[in-house]
Amino acid sequence: MKAEEFDRKFDAGEDITSALDLSQAKRYHSEQKTISIDLPVWMLEWIEQEADRLGITPQSIIQTSLAEHLAIHKPT
């Protein structure tokens, strides 16, 4: 597919994924690293209760909370 056709399809909102090589595609900042963290029992219990209430994992609660905090207090 020529660049002009690609641009036209993209601009028209058409599906162009068949023209892309996604075999090496990566999500930005998607690499993960495992850490270990010690939490007071009461805090872990609260996290687990909130996770149960929302139907998600405690890990998701912790990740979301950290992401929200960092979005507000973004390091310079």
**The domain containing residue 31 runs over which residues?**
3-72
Q: What sign results for the dihedral spanned by CA atoms 15, 19, 23, 28? A: negative
Please state, in angstroms and rounded to a whole number, the distance separating the CA atoms of residues 13 and 7: 10
Q: Which pLDDT tens digit goes with each residue over 6-48?
A: 999 999 999 999 898 888 888 887 788 999 999 999 999 999 9
Locate all alpha helices (DSSP H) within the chain, ordered by sequence: 3-11, 41-54, 58-72
Structure tokens at 31: 């690499």
Residues 60, 29, 69, 51, Cα dihedral to 10°: 0
* Domain tally, the chain: 1
Question: In the prediction, which pLDDT does 62 show?
Answer: 96
pTM above 0.85, yes or no: no
